[in-house]
Structure 1
Amino acid sequence: MASVFVYGTLLESEVVRILLNRNPSSSPAVLRDYRRFSVNGCSYPAIIPEKNKKVEGKVLFGITDPDLRVLDAFEDFEYDRSVVEVSLMDQNQPRMLQSFAYVWSQKDDPRLEGEWDFDEWRKKYVEEYLKSVKEFREEYDASGSNGVQ
């Protein structure tokens, strides 16, 4: 089983539930030396390495290989699944954990601009986004990518 640090649309538990058909346990976490950006023309964010910055998010626990295949397909070619070290923030003392995170594959992409705001995204885009996630999952299941024939 793996863990995955999420920092954008996957902070919305309903997005995770649709993608994974469940809501895995999670913990608030911080990823240091990365920065979260808005992607011009998209409703989702990207992270890239940047010294002295940090990204707040959460870690999803108990992620199976089939879950990772769904997430890999969902994140598509724009992201690389990378191993990162995050600080879990749910205890009195932060605890470090190695986890996967989806890092933007083009760190010099001119579409990266400004900060991405989860609360703003929820207000403006969550309903439309949930529809597209449901469509993605239906297409994923129909394609046989999930190992079920």
Structure 2
Amino acid sequence: MPRSAPRPGPSRSGRPDGLSAEPEALFVYGTLQFPDVLKALIGRVPGLEPAALAGWRAAALPGRIYPGLVSAAGTVHGVLLSGLTLAEWRILDAFEGPEYDRRPVLLLDGRSAWVYVYSLEAEVGDDDWSSAAFVARHLPAYVERCADWRTRRGRC
């Protein structure tokens, strides 16, 4: 869910802005895997390719239309975003807000990536998030909410 302010405090990886000097990939498993959501947030669709992550699941969050990644037996499927600029990373970090921590992970195919992990695991139930249900019920309105959030936040 969009937030109105960037997350305060130090970077999540201990490096400036939490990233190295080289562009890095981001594994996304929820709303950020949809091109229309990315366009609304960062103004473009970066490189996308299918990817999977073992040992995690995209959990449905009570009362929310977006998921949270939590540790679990199994595999979560999503996409790998590549070619993000530092400004785009900052936008996505602010969008994810304090409920998510950006962490490095190793994907099933051996590539390294960052991923946003849900930090309030105690709030998560047993149901998995459904991307098909999200598209069928929420995607157009969610894209509008993302665009409104981006407008309120201001352009980089």
TM over 0.5: yes
Task: List structure 1 segments (4+ residues) > 4 angstroms apart after TM superposition.
Answer: none
**Aligned partner (choices 106, 110, 117) of residue 103 of structure 1:** 117
Matched, 1:66 2:83: no
Q: Which residues in structure 2 correspond to 1:1-149 (within 5 Å)?
A: 1-50=23-72, 52-87=73-108, 95-109=109-123, 111-141=124-154, 146=156
The alpha carbon displacement at 1:112 in A equals: 3.4
- Aligned residue number for residue 92 of structure 1: none
Q: Deviations over 1:67-107 (max 9, x none)?
A: 110001100111001111113xxxxxxx3111110000122
RMSD: 1.2
SS at match of 2:117: strand
How many residues get paired?
134
Task: Tell me the alpha carbon deviations over residues 93-142 of structure 1, each in whole angstroms, 9 at most, x when there is no partner.
Answer: xx311111000012222x43401110111010111101100111101216
Cα distance per residue 1:24-61 (max 9 Å; x no partner): 111100010001110010000011112x3110001000
Percent identity between the two aligned chains = 29
TM-score (norm 1): 0.85
Partner Cα separation in structure 2 for residue 28 and residue 96 of structure 1: 13
The aligned amino acid for 2:66 is Y
2: distance between equivalents of 1:122 and 1:38? 14
Cα distance in 2 for residues equivalent to 1:23 and 1:49: 28
Give the secondary-structure state (helix, strand or coil) at the position aligned to 2:69.
strand
1:39–1:113 contact (8 Å) kept in structure 2: no
Q: State the one-letter code of the partner of 1:60.
A: L
Alignment TM-score, normalising by the size of structure 2: 0.82
The secondary structure found in structure 2 opposite 1:108 is: helix
